[in-house]
Amino acid sequence: MTVLSGIRVLDFGRYIAGPYCATLLGYLGAEVIRIERPDGGEDRYVAPLAGDNTEGALFFQTACNKKSMTLKLGAPEASEIVRKLVASADVVVANLPPGTLTRLGLDYEALKAVKPDIILTTVTAFGTSGPIAARGGFDGVGQAMSGAMYLSGTPGAPVKALAPYVDYSTASLSAFGTMAAIMERARSGKGQHVEASLLRTGCAVFGYHLVEQAALGSDRAGTGNRVQTNGPSDVFATADGHVLVHTVGDGLFRRWADLIGEARWLSDPRFAGDQLRGDHRDELCDRVQEWCAELTTDEFLQKLGEAGIPCGPVLTPRQALDHPQVRAVDLFREVPFNGMNVSVPDLPVELSETESGIAGPPPALGAHTDDVLGELGYGAADISTLRDQGTV
């Protein structure tokens, strides 16, 4: 039996933060019902895998193990269906603006009136208070407003990470909060409202930079890949590629000095500690770049590996999929779709005693609508009428 066996989750989320939160709960055994428009949510078709208007890569990462029910929220008959769904559920996940939640009867007060011990997990862009709380937003907004883009780039050229780390981190924290709420309900019998936001997550992930700014007024400017708080830490060009290296602590710095024949670094007061090495990063990084420029990536990695210096090659997506270490960690699962197998990242945490992870492919649009409505007491004639009305 899985750890969340018997827990029903209603997923009203879209795109990443809400849906992936529900996905993580599903990977731990919850029954997750994705509720989307009769013509499908836009996130179902992002980066289509088999031609236009087919399920996309994003959907495969955020919808495995789920059931799909179609419902036109806001339709006259939909509110009663939502009420019955909520009465049958343990958790509701929604990344919708607070006003939309209230309009659809999915706000916490409305849900509690139906089921007092319900757990509502919501994700917004900016939280529920403040001058721009009502606005929507995507992952990049969290990156931009946390200061991360400013310091990731260079002066005049801020840089957004293509990996939507704010979305996925928000999803993970939302799932963490939801698990805590489930445990609290088991202890006290009380439900609660779990709130997360992209802005909160962005600031938390970028936190130590903000702590330093608040305490010291450091006013750092971006330096691209060159780290400002230690060194030599950068992306170095080899004869045939690039390698990322981080050097933190005196021990690793001594290894660098020994490796490239720079014993003088160890007695140079400019390099006496991580922050001083970060302050003088350009001299250190330029010397390493000079040293490795004629080495191939494999040669560079071999030398650093023998010296015990943390490093990794900068890989293309294809190279990442094919890398023997990526294969060795056994993250990806082959999910059948449209006559092919799609490699989908599974739960990125291994549990030695708990059954978890991908158990089935993403659901076809509305594949479980009839079954779910039947469980709620709707007969075949009722369901046919709802279809004719465009409600489901």
Q: What is the pLDDT of residues 33-66, one digit of tens each?
A: 999 999 999 999 999 998 888 999 999 999 999 9
Task: Check residue 368 and give left, alpha or beta (phi > 0: left; psi -120 to 50: alpha).
Answer: alpha
pLDDT over 90 (residue 232): yes
pLDDT at site 53: 83
Of all residues in the chain, the percent with pLDDT exceeding 70 is 100
What is Dmax (Cα atoms) for the chain? 85
Tokens linked to 151:
């310091």
* Contacts with 383 (C-beta within 8 Å, 6 or more apart), sequence order: 369, 370, 373, 374, 392
The 10s digit of each residue's pLDDT in 236-268 is 999 999 999 999 999 999 999 999 999 999 999
CA torsion 231-237-238-240 (nearest 10°) is 150
pLDDT at site 38: 96
The pLDDT confidence band at residue 372, using thresholds 50, 70 and 90, is very high
pLDDT at site 385: 97
The 10s digit of each residue's pLDDT in 124-173 is 999 999 999 989 999 999 999 999 999 999 999 999 999 999 999 999 99
Angle separating helix axes 198-205 and 207-216, nearest 10 degrees: 70
Average pLDDT of the segment spanning 373-382: 97
Tokens linked to 328:
């060795």
Cis preceding linkage at 48, omega within 30: no
Domains of the chain: 8-205+329-389 (3.40.50.10540), 234-321 (3.30.1540.10)
Q: What is the DSSP letter of 62?
A: H
Cβ-based neighbour number of residue 309 at 10 Å: 19
Average pLDDT of the segment spanning 74-91: 96
Report d(CA 339, CA 115) in Å as an integer. 43
The 10s digit of each residue's pLDDT in 175-223 is 999 999 999 999 999 999 999 999 999 999 999 999 999 999 999 999 9
Report d(CA 132, CA 136) in Å as an integer. 9
* Contacts with 20 (C-beta within 8 Å, 6 or more apart), sequence order: 61, 62, 167, 168, 171, 172
The 10s digit of each residue's pLDDT in 331-343 is 999 999 988 999 9
Tokens linked to 3:
């750890």
